[in-house]
Every structure is written in C-alpha cells, then in structure tokens.
C-alpha cells in the first residue's frame, strides 16, 4: 500500500486547536520545566527521566537548533525573546485556530487578545468554576451576603451575557470532587455548600462538591439553550486530582438525564488512562465527543498511539478531535501539533493495514480529526459573530499595532523593516523597537517614491518609471512576519507593505500585487497556488592578488561533493538552523555543479508566504556567510565560463487542502488535471514576457543557455532538466501522476512577489481561456524545431511590451516602472560590459 497520500494529508492540513491555555511572559515565575510534566514539588525533579521529557526536549532543541539540554533550550528562549519563539513554534505547528481556556491561573499570563499576533483565529472557552469564584469574590451592592438565589441569578446572567462571545464552556469538576455529578442536588445542598465556601474567606476557591455539582448543572442548562459545547476535564492531571474520580463513566447520571439529552459534552485529554471508557461513551451517547489533547504529547510514543487506538475502537471518527492542551509555553503547542500529526498518521496507517479503513477513508479521517470535526462542532468561521468579536477573537492579518512589549527587550534594540524594490534588491530601514510600538506599527515609516524605481546599477529612479523625488509612500510593517534576527538576536526584522496612507495600498507595492493576483485566483477558481524555491548561490572568499583584493569561489569541488559540503559545513549548518528558527522548513542542502556553488531547497507553502520565506532565506544566507568572512551571491551568472545560479520554483494548485494540479487518477494524460494543464499552458504561452520579471537582469540571459539545465527553448517536459517548465513527480507521488511543475528560468535577482504575480496572472489567463497544453518534449531539445526563448533582456522586454493583459493583474503604473527599470539596466550593461561583476554586492 502507498501511504504517500495519507502522509501528505496529515502533514498539509492546518490544524484547529480546540482546547488550550494562555502563554506566559518569559519572566514568569512558572518554570519552563513544567512544559514537560504535570508533576510538582519533588516529583518534578524526576521528570527529566521520563520518555516523553527526553523526546520532547529533543524535538524542541531540533526546532531551535539549540543545545540538547534543558539549559540550552532555556538560554535560546531567553536570547530570542517571546515574540520570536512564539512565531517559530506556531509557524512550525501550522495551527489556524485556537480556543483558549483562560481560567488557568498562571503568573504573568498574556490575555487572549495578545495571541492574535500568531494565530489567525483565537477564541475563548469560559471556565465555569473560575467565573463562579470571580462572582463570589465581589461584594453585593447592598452589603448583604450571598445566597444561592442571588448567586444563581448573577451566575446565570453572566453566563448568558458571554454566550455570544465564546465558543464553549469548560468544567474542572473532576478536580473539585469528581465526575459523579449528583443530578438531583437540591438548592438546600447548594446553599450549605455556598455557606462553607464563603466561611473559608477570599479569594474564593469552590471545592464543595454539592456546590460544584449545582454550578455544573446550571451551566449545562445554559450551554444547551445556547447550543454551546461543555468541555470537561477527564482522566489524568496534576496531583490535585483524584484519578479514581476522573473516570468519565461517572458521568452516566448526567448522560442518562433527559434534561441534558441535547447537550454537547467534550471529554478532554483522551480521558487517559480511561480512553476505552471514553470511546464507549462516545459510541452510545449522542451528546459525547472526544478530545485527545494532553495525552499527546505527554505520554510515551507507545502510550500516545495506544490511547488514540483505544479512542477509535468504538467512537465515531467524526466525534474525535485534536487539541494541544498547550499552556504557558509556545513549545507545548508545537509539541502537541507535531506529535498529533505523527500519531494520527501511525494509527490510521495501521487501520489501513488491518483493513478497517481504505487509504482514501484514512485521508478523510485525518482531515476530520485534525481540523474539520472541530470546525463544525465549535462552529468556527472567520465571519461568524464570535470570530468578529474584537473582544475575544481577532485576526492576525490586521495591520493594527500588536502588543509587542516584552520586558526583556532592550529599548535600544532595533527592528529592520524590509522590502524588495523593482530591480529585485533587498532594502531595509532600521528603527528602535520603541518607535515601532508607539508609532510605526500604526502609521508606518516614510520612503521616497523614487526608491521603488531604482535600477540594479544605480540608486536613482530609472527614466520613464514615473517615480521621482516628489512624493512619499509608507512602509507598513506586517507584524505577522516580525522575527528575531538569528545572527543578531538583540534585533528583529519585519516585512513591509507599501501604503499611500494607513488602509490604502500603494499601487507600486510588489507584495500587494501578489496578494491581489492570488485573490483573483481564489475568487474566480477557488484555487490557491503553492510554491517552493530551490535557491542556488555561490560562496566567495576574498584573496589578494597582485596587491588587489579579489573575490573568488570558495572551492572548485564537483556536484554533490562531500568534501565541498564538509568545507562549508559551519556556514551551511548555521544557515539551516537560522532558517528553521524562523519556522521555515529546509528540505535539502547540497553542493552544486558550479565552483563554490550550493543549493538550498525550501518546503512549498502558499505562494504569498513562500515569497516571504524566500526573502528571509536570502537575508540569512548572505548574513551568515558574511559572519564567516565570506560573500554569498545569488547573481545569475557569476563567471561566464561556469554554470549559473537559479532560484527554480515548484508550483502546484490547491483547493480545500487538496492538490488539484495532480490528476485524480491515472486516466488523465500526463498525470496532470485539466485545471493544471490550462494553468501551465497559460504560463508557457506568456513565458517570454514573464522572463522580464523572473530573469530581470541582462546577466540572467548569460545563464539561460542551451545544455545548462536552465531552459533555453519554449516547451515543457516530463522530468526533462532542459525544459523551462518541468513536470515533476517527486518521491511519494503515485505512479503515473504529477504533483507539481518547476519553472527553471526564475533566478535569485528576481523580486519574488513580482515574479510569482506574473506567473499567476499568466496561469489565470490560461484557465480563463482554457488554453490547451501542447505535447511534452521528453528528449534533448531540437533548436531546429523549437522556438528559442528570449536570448536577452531586450527580447523579453519586447515581449512584455506586446502582452497588454498583464495590466489587469499588475497595475499599469507598476508595470511602467518595471519596464523602465529593465530598459535602464539594458542600456547600462550594454555600455559597460564588465559592470555585471559588481552585482555580487547587490544580489
């Protein structure tokens, strides 16, 4: 059986975390060791000897690239700062929604709104016992004492007032007397319980079982009337819990009571070690659902898999839901998501082997368990009234300022605001962190219009670009992209959008251009384009020759040379660790065929994010090389007598989490779907003019030569390295099918936002006109038969002048500026034949 489809589904799905808790500041007195264990006191000292501690610590150290020790990870956390580690963990976890029970008391915990910087949708789960205690901590207005009637009125009224702002309720009755809820508890019993609680004084802690049962039943009635779920702690926890009383079978009286037959109850934590009992309850009671957070990742691998298998022995798959039970530390969210993917794959894999499921059924089960069940059950939607509530749920895609204050941050720390100009060069402005928080996050930083019109050879606007010294745009930091700088951890960097004023995008903004074209693809075809870049670069060292400094290749070893990799290993290892610390996945590193040349492959993701990842990757490669006394260059053709460097991009189309570029079965010709072929046909049709965006320098065409695996002729092929468009079937792709295609012409001097926007525009035109994809060429290209792609930037620019359709997708003014910049570069490098050698300092 081929489990590639199942593995891809599990890894690709963006999970919904239906039960978690607040994160704390780095200076909280809640020790980081608690991320690994529920133990307290002297028992905590033995937690490093547990299987889960050793495994989870190793996973975190690998994520951060830190030393494999608790102290090493803690030092990394301290140096990086809370924003950076949260960004790293949540990006790696790929969580789209999170529901937070903020009733867990933790020192210096952040409020729910703070979490918006990292997760698109953040909602609240209301802990009923905490609400009751907060009410009883307040004095009645008339100075009288609380009675069960006055408390009930206040409590129920408060619950109802929250009903439209929360996703559900939660009870920790298991900690306060156990789960054997007395459904016949009387007001008199509750009154006596209330009296005893009040006698104990403030702050109030409700531990009287009669009062707890009464509060539980009152809450369940409200939950049922408002169709809100009730989460219930079941199974293991810290030592305040009597494990014997947390068996969910004790809930039978509630489940059998007809008054609560329409309720929706979630048994948390896989009810471990009572997972089989929980599975049984979910199978025979319509109102029972299951959540396996905390059991994963706190158990051993065997324990996690066993518990999950026990849940699925009887329980319907559509009743089983993922959560991290993350708390205090972002690492707990990452571990919960990472191990849940691994366990879900393992369990569903075995179910297929055993004959319980087919692979397609397992794929659907994975998506249900990790995301869709929770979305439907909790009614999670970016447009519903709960998500729209500014108070409890906010979107991370807003440009409003975040609370970026971190007590450990030095007021003198700097934030680099990055953008990529029309020539493809990275630029930045640095401002103090304090200014970002107080002014720039909301109002941006000024930048002269002219800066977007700079050519590759001169920091001045190109003639005819329409960009002059008059006028100023606003660089608006996209705070969802703010990252600690890996090679200079005191400072941070953030990507910028360009605005005329807050809320009004500037039409010359490359980042906005890609977002705009991506939206057209989504609106018209319900499609998203995923992209993954292969980055080739050359490491140069400085030597003195005849009294002059000169940059020469780091070495001259052949393709995939171990000795070359060994020599560059200190640089490459640091580069890989730095990239991964930003939550960007590195898939491969190796020595390339050119002198001093290496290739670094990034994992595919949604194209807008892929472009961001590429910018950060280039920044890291150059900075780390510089740190080691080397110069890294992405110039397309460093030496005219050697191989060039590309930034090959792999593309695929996705709809509802499914790769729809790939054919649904082997009956499709070439293994590509109809939409895939039309999309690819559009790109092939317009490739001559697309080159002006993805091969933007005259030097780019020194690379695009026959017999160099760069694509010199206009055709596509199946795994044909000479094809500019190559259909690709990487390991794990079902036989006879194609999962993506590669554009080899893209190079490291291209602005990735403009390049992908041009590619998307051409693909959309192919979809609109249902362009046919010609037959592939699966042999070495014959120049007598095939059309030569532009052999110079001049030829590509001529093609772009003829293709007016780009104006619909890329604003006319931006297009005019790009053409002017290209013309300026053509004129300069035509007159100055050796000027390309200076490009190593710009790209």
What are 706's two structure tokens? 């026959």
pLDDT of residue 43: 86
Strands (E), 577-729: 586-591, 597-602, 605-606, 631-633, 647-655, 658-659, 716-718, 725-728
Helix H, strand E, coil C: the string for 95-115 is EEEEEEECCCCCCCECCHHHH
**For position 709, what pLDDT does the model report?**
82
The three-class DSSP label of residue 741 is strand
Give the phi and the psi of residue 723 in degrees, each rounded to 5.
-80, 135
Structural domains of the chain ordered from first start: 4-388 (3.20.20.140), 414-507 (3.10.20.70), 514-841 (3.30.590.10)
541 bridge partner residues? 552
Which of 323, 369, 320, 335 is closest to 9 using CA atoms?
A: 369
CA distances from 34 to 44, 227, 333 (A): 8, 35, 13
Tokens of 744: 């080899």
Radius of gyration of the chain (CA): 29
Q: What span, in angstroms and rounded, lies between the C-alpha atoms of 254 and 232?
A: 12
Q: Which two tokens stand for residue 464?
A: 């005819």
Structure tokens at 423: 């020539």
List of residues 6+ apart from 731 with CB closer than 8 A: none
Report whether 370 contacts 364 (CB < 8 A): no
Distance from chain centroid for Cα 540: 33
DSSP secondary structure string for all residues of 274-339: -HHHHHHHHHH-TTEEEE-EEHHHHS-HHHHHHHHHHHHHHS-GGGEE------BSHHHHHHHHHH
| Residue in the structure block whose two tokens are 């930083």 | 445
| Cα angle 409-411-412, degrees, rounded to a multiple of 5 | 110
Distance CA 319, CA 589 (A): 42
Task: Write the DSSP string, 543-578.
Answer: EEETTEEEEEES----TT-HHHHHHHHHHHHHHHHH
pLDDT of the residue at 412: 59
Beta-strand relationship, 586-591 and 483-484:
unpaired
- What's the rounded Cα separation, in Å, for the pair 197 and 302? 43
Task: Provide the pLDDT for residue 126.
Answer: 96
The residue to which tokens 């094809």 are assigned: 723
Nearest Cα neighbor of 682 from 766, 747, 624, 596 is: 766
| Distance, C-alpha 106 to centroid of its chain | 27
- Helices H / strands E in the chain, number of each: 27, 27
| pLDDT score, position 129 | 95
The two three-digit tokens of residue 271, written as one number: 């009810």
What does each C-alpha distance from 45 to 32, 67, 236, 329 come to in angstroms?
Answer: 13, 20, 19, 19
* Residue that is written with structure tokens 């044909």 in the block: 720
Residues of the chain with pLDDT under 70: 381-412, 502, 667
Nearest to 48 by CA among 60, 38, 57: 57
Instruction: Answer positive or negative: Cα dihedral of 230, 234, 237, 240.
Output: positive
| pTM recorded for the entire structure | 0.56
Q: Tell me the angle at which helices 510-525 and 752-769 cross, rounded to the nearest 10 degrees.
A: 20
């Amino acid at each position: 059986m081929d489990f590639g489809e199942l593995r891809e589904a599990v890894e690709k799905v963006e999970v919904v975390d239906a039960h978690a808790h607040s994160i704390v500041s780095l200076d909280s007195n809640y020790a980081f060791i608690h991320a690994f264990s529920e133990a307290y006191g002297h028992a905590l000292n033995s937690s490093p000897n547990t299987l889960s501690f050793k495994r989870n610590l190793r996973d975190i150290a690998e994520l951060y690239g830190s030393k494999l020790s608790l102290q090493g990870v803690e030092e990394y956390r301290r140096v990086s700062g809370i924003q950076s580690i949260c960004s790293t963990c949540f990006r790696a976890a790929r969580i789209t929604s999170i529901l937070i029970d903020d009733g867990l008391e933790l020192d210096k915990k952040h409020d729910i709104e703070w979490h918006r910087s990292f997760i698109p949708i953040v909602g609240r789960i209301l802990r009923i016992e905490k609400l009751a205690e907060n009410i009883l901590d307040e004095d009645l207005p008339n100075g009288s004492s609380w009675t069960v009637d006055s408390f009930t009125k206040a409590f129920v009224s408060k619950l109802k007032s929250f009903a439209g702002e929360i996703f559900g309720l939660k009870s920790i009755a298991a900690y306060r007397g156990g789960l054997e809820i007395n459904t016949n508890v009387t007001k008199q019993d509750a009154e006596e319980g209330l009296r005893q609680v009040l006698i104990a004084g403030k702050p109030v802690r409700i531990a009287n079982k009669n009062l707890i049962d009464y509060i539980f039943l009152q809450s369940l009635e409200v939950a049922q009337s408002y169709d809100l779920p009730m989460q219930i702690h079941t199974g293991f926890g810290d030592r305040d819990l009597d494990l014997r009383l947390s068996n969910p079978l004790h809930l039978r009286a509630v489940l059998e009571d007809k008054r609560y037959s329409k309720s929706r109850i979630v048994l948390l934590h896989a009810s471990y070690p009572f997972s089989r009992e929980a599975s049984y309850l979910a199978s025979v009671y319509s109102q029972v659902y299951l959540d396996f957070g905390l059991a994963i990742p706190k158990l051993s691998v065997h324990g996690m898999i066993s518990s999950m298998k026990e849940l699925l022995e009887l329980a319907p798959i559509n009743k089983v839901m993922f959560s991290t039970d993350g708390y205090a530390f972002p690492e707990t969210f990452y571990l919960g998501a990472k191990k849940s993917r691994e366990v879900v794959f393992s369990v569903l894999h075995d179910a297929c082997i055993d004959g319980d499921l087919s692979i397609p059924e397992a794929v659907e089960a994975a998506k249900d368990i990790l995301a869709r069940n929770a979305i439907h059950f909790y009614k999670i939607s970016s447009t519903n009234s709960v998500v729209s509530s500014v108070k409890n749920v906010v979107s991370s895609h807003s440009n409003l300022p975040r609370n970026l204050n971190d007590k450990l941050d030095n007021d003198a720390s700097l934030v680099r605001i990055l953008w990529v100009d029309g020539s493809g060069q990275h630029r930045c402005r640095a401002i103090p962190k304090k200014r970002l928080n107080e002014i720039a996050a909301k109002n941006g930083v000024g930048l002269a219009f002219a800066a977007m019109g700079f050519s590759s050879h001169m920091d001045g606007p190109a003639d005819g670009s329409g960009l002059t010294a008059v006028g100023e745009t606003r660089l608006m930091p996209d705070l969802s992209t703010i990252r600690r700088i890996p090679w200079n951890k005191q400072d941070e960097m953030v990507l910028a959008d360009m605005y005329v004023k807050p809320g009004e995008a500037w039409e010359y903004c490359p980042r906005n251009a890609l977002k705009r074209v991506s939206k057209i693809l989504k609106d018209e075809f319900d499609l998203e384009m995923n992209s993954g870049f292969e980055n080739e670069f050359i490491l140069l060292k400085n030597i003195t020759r005849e009294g002059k400094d000169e940059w020469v290749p780091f070495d001259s070893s052949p393709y995939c040379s171990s000795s070359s990799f060994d020599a560059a290993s200190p640089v490459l290892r640091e580069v890989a660790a730095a990239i991964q610390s930003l939550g960007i996945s590195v898939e491969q590193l190796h020595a390339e065929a050119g002198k001093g040349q290496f290739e670094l492959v990034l994992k595919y993701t949604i194209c807008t994010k892929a472009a961001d990842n590429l910018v950060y990757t280039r920044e890291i490669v150059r900075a780390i090389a510089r740190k080691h006394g080397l110069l890294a260059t992405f110039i397309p053709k460093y030496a005219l007598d050697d191989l060039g460097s590309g930034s090959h991009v792999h593309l695929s189309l996705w709809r509802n989490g499914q790769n729809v570029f790939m054919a649904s079965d082997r009956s499709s010709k070439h293994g590509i779907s109809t939409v895939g072929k039309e999309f690819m046909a559009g790109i092939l049709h317009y490739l001559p003019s697309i080159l002006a965006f993805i091969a933007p320098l005259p030097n780019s065409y020194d690379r695009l030569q026959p017999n160099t695996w760069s694509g010199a002729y206009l055709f596509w092929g199946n795994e044909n390295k000479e094809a500019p468009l190559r259909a690709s079937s990487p390991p794990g792709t079902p036989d006879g099918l194609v999962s993506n295609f590669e554009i080899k012409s893209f190079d490291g001097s291209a602005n990735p936002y403009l390049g992908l926007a041009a590619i998307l525009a051409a693909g959309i035109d192919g979809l609109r006109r249902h362009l046919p994809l010609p037959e592939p060429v699966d042999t070495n290209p014959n120049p007598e038969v095939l059309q030569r792609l532009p052999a110079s930037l001049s030829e590509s620019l001529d093609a772009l002048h003829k293709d007016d359709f780009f104006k619909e997708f890329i604003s006319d003014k931006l297009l005019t500026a790009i053409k002017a910049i290209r013309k300026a570069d053509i004129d300069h490098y035509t007159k100055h034949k050796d000027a390309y050698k200076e490009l190593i300092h710009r790209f």
